[in-house]
Amino acid sequence: MENKNIRVRFAPSPTGGLHLGGVRTVLFNYLFAKQHQGSFIVRIEDTDQTRFVAGAEQYIFDCLQWCGLTPDESTVNGGPFAPYRQSERKAIYKQYALELIEKGYAYYAFDTPEQLEEKRKGVPNFQYNHQTRRQCTNSLTLSPEVVLQKLANNTPYVIRIKMPENETVTCHDMIRGTVEFNTGLSDDKALLKADGMPTYHLAVVVDDFLMQITHAFRGEEWLPSAPIHILLWKYLFGLDKMPKWAHLPLILKPDGNGKLSKRDGERLGFPVFAMDWTDPVTGNTTTGFKERGFLPEAFVNMLAMLGWNDGSGQEIFSLQELIEKFSIERIHKGGAKFDYEKAKWFNHSWLQQLPVQHYVANVKPYFAKAGITITNDAYLHKVMELVKERCQLLPDFVEQSSFFFQHPEHIDTASIAGKWNATQQQFFVELIRNLELATTWDTENLEKDFKEMAAAHQLKPGELMLPFRIMLVGGKFGPHVFDIAAAIGKAATIHRIKHTLQLLQ
């Protein structure tokens, strides 16, 4: 494959939060471009001004920055094919729509919204197509004089593609192989709207041509539009100029029944957006993977494995490894079920793999939110190393280690009381005296002395470890109990034992 001219694009509409399916489309485009030393372009498709949402474009770029998927050309960093926002390219599209009319591949349609509404009432599932266009108000049914008169009078119109009645169009899809379409099943889509804005169908073809896009990877929900786009390429630029296509499989609900939606996330309690998205109209915030406590490395890794693998059984990949190993041919044709437990497994794996210094800055805000002030970074690092094995998400660090920074609020004395006796009580009273006299304070010596004392009291260390843990932590969790004692220090260890012994009396 010729490397230097590979150009791929992600072309979102700024209408709201960025679904993980959208980020996966970005990822596959990005990996392909980087593998072939090509260019990854982000083009904002904002031709439908009725759906435009303030702040959505900036949000898209914030998400990509968090994921580490920086475009080579975009509305943010410019490029040789600017502007990259379709609303700023409005003047470009009309000439192509008029060219299609001249060639007989498109026509003016003057039907008013009221006329079309009447048609919909009279004809169930009315479609403007080869069967109905002759009963409508357009340049195919009106005389050339009337058409010219309407245009001279600035009568509102749309320009529609004239879909052939019964032609087969084919294209090669890099994932699905040869795909065939019957043109008679597609309606005469509007290409240019009454406000002079192009629709997606015209704009995507024109811009892909002008921006010299070589490969177009998009979700399989765009397959029904493919015959229209193929014909537009054929009519305007020639099929030899058309990018190579790949229609990516859907990300499915956990049960596999249908496409994963925002509502599924709300219903089942997991995020489907990359980052928190606050709707500027309703003020409602939808949680994102970032704020839920995912590392970008894990999020990207997880997305890559939704519908792709390299055939080796390997699951943990850095972005650089993905660039090296990725191939479009190994993307599955079928949809990929989203599994939130598996997503958390990826995050847990990355928390173990990366040094805590890499993500300590992301963890600190969760401590602050819990009212815990961190004054010693070296101590925080040490604590995080002790507990990271038990953490799946970043907020788990607070839950798993708050007792290192403050006395536990609640002590689970119920889990001690059942088997508590005078001998154990006596053991811990003596333990306090021993600890007060201790001259060394480290994991090894604390454990050795504890076990020697237990033997002297003819007690099994196992009977004493759980009460000791609950005294220090508040519950039945946490890392090695002598690591905890070593970390929190002499004064805190003694104070917590005394406090629990009082509660048990």
How far apart, in Å, are the Cα atoms of 89 and each of 15, 99, 295? 19, 17, 37
Q: Of the residues 259, 262, 364, 451, which is catalytic?
A: 262
Pairing of strands 190-192, 251-252: unpaired
Question: Is 262 an active-site residue?
Answer: yes
Dist CA 431 CA 465 (whole Å): 13
Dist CA 490 CA 496 (whole Å): 10
3-state secondary structure of 473: helix
The one-character DSSP state at 294 is -
Q: What is the CA radius of gyration of the chain?
A: 32
Please choose, from the candidates 215, 220, 200, 204, the residue with its C-alpha nearest in 3D space to the C-alpha of residue 24.
220
Three-class secondary structure assignment of 332-398: CCCCEECCHHHHHHHHHHHHHHCCHHHCHHHHHHHHHHCCCCCCCHHHHHHHHHHHHHHCCCCCHHH
Which DSSP helix (H) or strand (E) runs through 144?
helix 144-152
Dist CA 213 CA 191 (whole Å): 20
Dist CA 394 CA 292 (whole Å): 8
- 17 CB contacts (<8 Å, ≥6 apart)? 59, 262, 273, 274, 275, 277, 286, 288
CB 503 within 8 A of CB 412: no
Dist CA 262 CA 277 (whole Å): 11
How far apart, in Å, are the Cα atoms of 205 and each of 82, 229, 256? 16, 7, 33
Dist CA 386 CA 487 (whole Å): 10
Which runs of consecutive H residues, i.e. helices, occur in 139-215? 144-152, 200-210
Dist CA 340 CA 150 (whole Å): 57
CB 268 within 8 A of CB 340: yes
3-state secondary structure of 346: helix
CB 280 within 8 A of CB 14: no
Please choose, from the candidates 341, 362, 336, the residue with its C-alpha nearest in 3D space to the C-alpha of residue 269.
341
Please spell the DSSP secondary structure of 17-66, one letter per residue. --BHHHHHHHHHHHHHHHHTT-EEEE-B----GGG--TTHHHHHHHHHHH
CB 192 within 8 A of CB 93: yes
Kindly state the tokens that stand for 318.
């850095």
Residue with tokens 């190393």: 385
CB 84 within 8 A of CB 73: yes
The residues carrying an active-site annotation are: 262
